[in-house]
Structure 1
C-alpha cells in the first residue's frame, strides 16, 4: 500500500504562457514565485509552488503530483507499481530540481494521466505569500482529474494507495480522500486530463466577492456560487485560458473517523445532486450512468 501524505503540484503545458500568468495572478490571485526558462511557478501556500506552467507545444496537464514520507516509501512505491505492471520513471537530478523536490518517480495511471510521487518538496515557510489580489486563498485544496472509466480508476487508486471513497455521484464521479478532508482527488468520467484545480478560501464572503469580481472582469463562470451536498463546501468554478477550470471553495467537510463513514450515492438525475442550492449545472455534470 502506497501512503500519500499530501498534494504536491500540478504541471500544465501551455502555448499561451503570458495569458496563463496574467490570469493566474490577476484573476486567481496566485503569487508568481519564479520564472525559469520555459517554466513558471505559482504559489498559494507554504509549498514552493502548487502550479507550474511549462511553455511548449504540449498543451494540457503534464502531471499531477502527491507527496510521500521519505526515500524508503518512494522505493517501496516504485516496487509496488512495477509489480502491478506499470512502467515507472525515476526522476533525474535535473528533473527533480525543476520540480523543487528531493526525488520523485512518475508513472501513467489507468485513464492515461501521468502521476508523480515526490519526496522532499521545497517549502517556503518564512515568507508570506505575496498575493496578487486578495481572493482569500488559504491553501491548494484538491484536484479533479478526468478518466474514461471511473470504476477502473477507482479500483486502481483504492487498491494501491491509501485512498478511501467519500462519496459517489452515479458512476460518473468518485470523490476520494487520503486524509480527513472530504476529497483531495476527484475522479470524473470524461476524456483524460485535468478537470479542475481547487483552492480553499477563508470565508463564504471571499466566495461572494470573487463571484462579483469574476463577473466584473468577464470571466466565464461555469458553476456557482453553490454548495456541494457531498462535501458541504460552498463553491465557485470558472474558466481560464486554454480551457482550464479553476475553483474556489469554503467549508469543506472533514471525515476524522474512517470507520464511522459510509460512502453515499448521489443520483445525477436529482435536481440537487451536485448543488444544494439548485443552481445551473453544466450538461456534462448531469450525465446519468
Structure 2
C-alpha cells in the first residue's frame, strides 16, 4: 500500500513538472506534426516528387501550392517526402552519437586510470578537429549515400555526449549504492550497465535530442554543397537545387529552408524542455 501511494505521488509530481515545461510541450506538438507529415506523405503529397513536369520554376498557385523547381517538380510534394529523409538521417545519426558517447564516457568516468586518459585524449582530438571538414573529406572518399552520411555524422558528433557521461560516471562511482555493489562482488561491467549508465543517462537523452537538429543541419549543409545522396529527396537538396533560381524562383529554396528552421526549432525545444524536466537545478529555478 505504501509503495502504491509513493508511486502515485511520484506520478503526480511528474505530471506537475511536465505541466510547467512549456518548451517541451510546444516541441512535442511541432514534432508530432512533422512525424504525421512524414508518415502520411503519400496521402498529403499532391504530385509525385520524382516526376519532371512541363512547368519549370512555376510560381506558387492552385496547381502547385509551393511552386515548382527548375525541373518542373512540385516543391510542396518534395518537401513532404523530404521530411522522411531528413528525420531519418537526424534520428539515426543522433542515436549513433548517443550510444558511442554513452559507452565511451561511461567507461572513462567509471574505470578511470589508463582508460580515462586514452579516451580523454581521443575526445580532445575530436574537439580540436574541424568536424565538418572531416565529414566532407570522408563523404568525398567513400561516397554520399544516405547510409554513409548517417554513419559519418554519428561517428563524429559523440564528443559532447561522452563528456556529459564521463562527468556523470565520475560522480556516480562514489555513491553509496555503487560502493555497495562493489562490496557484494558485482563486476565492473555489471555496475557500469546496471547502475552507472541508467542513472546517468538523463542529460544524454536531452543532449541527443538536440543533436538530432544538428545532424539535420549537417545533412542539409552537405546536400547544399552537392555532397548529399542524389537518389533521395531531402530538404538540403531542395535548397541546393534552388540556389540558381533565387532571383526568379525564390520559393524553391525559401520554403524548404523554412522547413529546416521549423524542424531544428522543434528538436531544440524538446531538448531544452527535457533538460529542464530531468535536471533538478533547472527545474527548481522555474
TM bucket by the smaller chain?
under 0.3
TM-score, structure 2 normalization: 0.25
